[in-house]
Structure 1
Amino acid sequence: MILSSVAILMGLLVGCNNSSASKSEIEHSVIDDAVIHDVAPTYKTVEWTDLMPKSDLDALLNPPEYLDNIEDGSFEDVISNQVFNALTSANDDRYQQALISTNIIKEMVDQPIRIPGFIVPLEFDDQQNITQFFLVPYFGACIHMPPPPPNQMIFVSSSLGISSNNLYEPFWITGILKTAINENELGTAAYTMHITTIEPYTEEE
């Protein structure tokens, strides 16, 4: 599985295929009354592109020619990286529409899934455990880089909290996928998940 598939589709030079987390480095913590353990076989492993409608995927795979004319580091490039064009041109630009799309795959809703991703913390408890976060397909999303499209972000809430160690590493997340718009200054998620387990990311054989 390619963890950074959406990042590649959007032309972002970020990936995490070479990223891995040592299980010894991660504190096993309780998440929504479930202790970290081996993933149950009933959870279907999915890729991020499985959550995106084909029309949005096709639009991202075929970016407009004007993007090739933007020089790296230019004013236009900076504005583009802030998704300014997505907000101002969405009415008539299919590519820009896909960048802010909240369209979901209805068949995925209420399904038990297993998906890899990076954690973007949103809220912490008094012990600095993460209680709310976005799960995203590539490292640096929402903080060092523009956020993914909303249909490529999953909002997760865990009242018991998750250790904030090793946030530079990807994780496997399992749970029941739901749909709900969750907006934050860091981005907008079109999906949410009732999480059951979390474990270090390792490549699938």
Structure 2
Amino acid sequence: MRSLLLSVLLLAGAAQAALEETDWLDLMPEADRKALLEMPEITHDSPEADSGFYTPDGGGLRSADKAMPDFMYSAQTVPALDGREILLGGYPVPLETDQRGQFVEFFLVPYPGACIHVPPPPPNQIVLVRYPQGINLEDIYAPLWVEGVLRVEVSSNALADFAYAIDAEKVELITE
């Protein structure tokens, strides 16, 4: 009986230790969230060549369309999330591989195809993921779970401006 009670307590502790999924909207300050929810529908009728993206190599996650609302360029963060362990689901935009061809750095974004989608996410909806053990990213349209400590890290690289980074402890395909 005692071992059964111990097993139940261990299972209950493991269930409590599991992280609850963080919503992408939680990464936006209240004013940005409100502006997003009140934004009119965006059409996706234009061909990719006319999408308004800009990077020096001709593709990327930056929008050159200055007619977009200001919050679409927002790097404003939620300071209370800095240092918090989170579980975030999203889609990868591959950046850097190791010598084995495994991706050790990628952006996580809230919707698939963000590198060709109109409009690209605002910087506070782009998370730089560092994952030293690497993952094989065969399909950028396959969603991932990323678990780790979220840091406010407003920065940019050749592909995008971003407002958060995660040193991932665990990255896995979402299979449900």
Once the two structures are superposed, what CA deviation does each residue of 1:76-108 show, in whole Å capped at 9, x if it has no partner?
Answer: x9355662233xx5xxxxx62111100001111
Contact 2:112–2:140 (8 Å) recurs in 1: no
TM-superposed deviation, 1:171: 1.1
Q: Residues 120-199 of structure 1 correspond to what in structure 2 (within 5 A)?
A: 120-199=93-172
Q: Structure 1-normalised TM-score?
A: 0.64
1:104 and 1:190 in contact (8 A); partners too: yes
Whole-angstrom CA distance in 2 between matches of 1:159 and 1:202: 23
- 8 A contact 1:47–1:115 mirrored in 2: yes
Which residue of 1 is the match for residue 50 of structure 2? Answer: 78
Which runs of 5 or more structure 1 residues have no equivalent in the other structure? 1-37, 90-94
Distance 2:92 2:44 in 1: 31
Structure 2 stretches of 5 or more lacking a match?
A: 1-13, 55-62
| Amino acid across the alignment from 2:99 | D
Aligned pairs for 1:23-34 within 5 A: none
* Contact residue 46 and residue 115 of structure 1 kept, 8 A: yes
TM-score, scaled to structure 2: 0.74
Give me the whole-angstrom Cα distance separating, in 2, the residues matched to 1:81 and 1:39: 43
Aligned in 2, Cα 1:109/1:71: closer, same or farther, shift over 3 Å?
closer
Q: Which residue of 1 aligns with 2:19?
A: 43
Query: 2:106 is aligned with what amino acid?
Result: F
Structure 2 CA distance for aligned equivalents of residues 200 and 162 of structure 1: 10
- Find runs of 4+ consecutive structure 1 residues off by over 6 angstroms: none
Q: CA RMSD in A?
A: 3.0
Q: Call closer, same or farther: CA 1:101–1:124 in 2, change over 3 Å.
A: same
**What is the SS of the residue equivalent to 1:44?**
coil
Which piece of structure 1 moves more, 184-193 or 169-178?
Answer: 184-193
Equivalenced residues, count: 155
Instruction: Give the 5 Å matches for 1:46-125.
Output: 46-63=22-39, 72-73=45-46, 78=50, 80=52, 83-86=63-66, 96-125=69-98
Identity score, percent: 34
Say which structure, 1 or 2, has more relative contact order (CA 8 Å, 6+ apart): 1
Question: SS in structure 2 opposite 1:85?
Answer: coil
